[in-house]
Structure 1
């Protein structure tokens, strides 16, 4: 898909912190992120649970106000007044992972999809707009679904209703948080194909939040790998997922069935956003540091004590890793046993 060079959405230095209770340290859920999403582009935001990706996604929509940094949409900084956010959310819509939780069980499909139109005071033909959104989401003929309730639909149909509820406002950006995580494998491909078709037909941009690298391969133009509040590797999806440079990306890929070699078992505790370590934030669990590769490359001390800069939000391939920067990209992937990985999915 060809995209324009100017980003539709741009994030600069974004930070989101949550004060701890009863004197506990502040949790830095998003701790310095730059990210651009161009028109017509699908970006996958990938990482383990707890890495901050959902907080980042919600902050992009104004649902969680940032502690620092800024979000720019279509060239204008995002304002946080009720009126400004209402206008913005007509152009940028959220699709949640659990369609059962997203839909009111007492509302018909028609009312669920029409809700956004009513909130925003849609001046046109409501019935035609709802029918058009359902049809674009793959529920045809749409009138057959108007009076159904969520419990009368399959999981895939419910997710299509959620997507139709977002599409009915004709947004320019979708933020999809684990959009197929709760669906059966047989339905996942249909929903991913739907998102790709919507991008082609409507020119939609999308940020897809996922822990599934196979999903990222199948849907995204670009991938951003997040760990402990920061993006640690980013670039074109083919490049990042076939020749990963960051040890964390390599570990995530190593557990896929298609990956060569043995899975990488990460040591140490899962990430804690209230206790971000000095140096590389991944170093306590890093298989490269634990295995002596960083020491042999002369960067072990830097890994433990020298912080890495925030990766800029553009589309170039970047990595925040002292070790990866000491050697060519092909050698970096090969050293970790993940070079020329079979494309996931």
Structure 2
């Protein structure tokens, strides 16, 4: 199968429109890393040299789903993790939450290494919460909204007024007055309301970080902007950090402070949202941007599917699909593209791309 991209994006940066998904002006904490990559504060969450490998069946090679990732998320920062389906971004997100133990590498949270004992993971998952893509699948159809939101409090044995905590979480998620929703069931709610209930279920534990996996993919276009605006408001009002997993660069443009573009288990480009999405350096990022309606360019074909993670090619892992290499524009570095591996990006907010062609100044 082929993916449609625009060759013109390699020389003419595409600026996605922020009008597609309305979002409030950002008034909360500043991004942790500036455009020049200078570090402002220590990261809240940090992954270093992270690998997640799944053994192959019947003697087949192991699949390197996450293959050496460095990634930081600052306090009050929203990072968008972007890439095609199958690139490893969901596995990475789940590993960062402690749901999938890494094969090697390390994760620190608030400066402390993540421990994988049952007690430590339970405490960590109170501070770092997951928001899933499909609210219908996330909610038990037999539980009322009150029970769905209160479940986390009961699992973690939280003290205090449960009713007040549930009401506060629902209100922060935009379901007001909250008492009106207590006894309603998921099937009685709209898709946007169900997603707000899922978000309230995370907020009730007062986490420092949420990981949102395609948080608006299953919603109507008219509701998407409302949920994105909610996530931004939570960042601004609560100082909440977020990792937003998405294939949609338009979404990243509207919500993220920083973008990490992932391909075949590795991050291939990272930087502030403004720098990456208005001046992409890696051909893969250019390809993802070129399919946005705002590109206004004629499409070309990016051939083939991403390689099998159990058979990662030598050299640049994108070279077999690279439209820049195929066009002959990267002839000066073609041998390096096909045979010389690239280093892991630092993931600390520095503007960078894992690309021989970009490194050569093209």
> Is residue 139–residue 186 contact of structure 2 (8 Å, CA) maintained in 1?
yes
TM-score if structure 2 supplies the norm length?
Answer: 0.89
Q: What is the aligned partner in structure 2 of residue 12 from structure 1?
A: 48
Separation in structure 1 between the aligned mates of residue 243 and residue 269 of structure 2, nearest angstrom:
16
Q: Aligned match of 1:303 in 329, 334, 337?
A: 337
- 2:201 aligns to what? 165
Number of residue-to-residue matches in the alignment: 326
Q: Is residue 2:309 matched to residue 1:273?
A: yes
Q: CA deviation at 1:276?
A: 0.3
Match of 1:63 among 99, 117, 138: 99
* Unaligned runs of at least 5 residues, structure 1: 333-345
In 2, the alpha carbon distance for the partners of 1:313 and 1:184 equals 33
Partners of 1:274 and 1:302 lie apart in 2 by 22
Equivalent residues of 1:255, 1:264 under 8 A apart: no
Alpha-carbon deviations, 1:257-286, whole Å to 9, x = none? Answer: 001422342112333111100000000000
Q: What is the alpha-carbon root mean square deviation over aligned residues?
A: 0.8
Aligned to 1:78: 114
**2:123 equivalent in structure 1:** 87
Q: Flag the structure with more relative contact order, 1 or 2, with Cα contacts below 8 A and sequence separation at least 6.
A: 2
Inter-partner Cα distance in structure 2 for 1:263 and 1:216: 22
Specify the alignment match of 2:62 in structure 1: 26
2:333 is equivalent to residue 323 of structure 1: no
Distance 1:127 1:167 in 2: 14
| 1:134 aligned residue | 170
CA distance in 2 between counterparts of 1:72 and 1:99 reads: 29
**Aligned to 1:299, what secondary structure does the other structure show?**
helix
TM-superposed deviation, 1:315: 1.0
Task: Show structure 1 runs of 4+ deviating over 4 A.
Answer: none
Superposed CA deviations along residues 150-197 of structure 1, whole A, max 9, x for unmatched, are 000000000000000000000000000000000000000000000000
State the distance in 1 between where 2:300 and 2:87 align: 18
Q: Name the CA shift for 1:20/1:190 in 2 (closer, same or farther; >3 Å).
A: same
- Which of 326, 342, 354 is the aligned partner of 1:290? 326
Give, in whole Å, the separation in 1 of the partners of 2:209 and 2:292.
30
Distance 1:293 1:157 in 2: 49
Deviations 1:126-158 (A, max 9, x none): 000000000000000000000000000000000
Aligned partners of 2:264 and 2:306 also within 8 Å: no
